[in-house]
Amino acid sequence: MPSICLTANDADGSSADDNQSKSSITVTVNLSNLANPLSSVTPYRTSSTENQAPLSTIPVNGGSLTIRLPASSIVTLIG
């Protein structure tokens, strides 16, 4: 079973997803309860080969987004 951890900061619209498993997983993140709705987020990934590497912007549709989390990585979403 995959092991992930999600933390969120409603004040600045950031969150961090931590995939501790040995395989990549795709997750849907529900952001509909944020005080300030987001239209997109920019992910930054940290892994064994990356240090807060910026990735392509992800649109937020209907208050949620879907993202692939590589194995043993941390992805920070900034909105």
Q: Which two tokens stand for residue 5?
A: 């951890």
Q: Which two tokens stand for residue 72?
A: 């043993």
Over range 38-59, report the average pLDDT. 93
Please tell me whether the overall predicted TM-score, pTM, comes out greater than 0.95 for this model: no
Residue 40: pLDDT over 90: yes
Q: Where are the domains of the chain?
A: 4-78
- Angle 3-19-43 from CA coordinates, rounded to 5°: 145
Residue 2: pLDDT over 50: no
Over range 9-29, report the average pLDDT. 70
**pLDDT band at residue 25, thresholds of 50, 70 and 90?**
confident
Residue 76: pLDDT over 60: yes
Architecture in CATH of 4-78: Sandwich (2.60)
Q: CA nearest 53: which of 76, 36, 29?
A: 76
Q: CA nearest 27: which of 62, 70, 57, 56?
A: 70
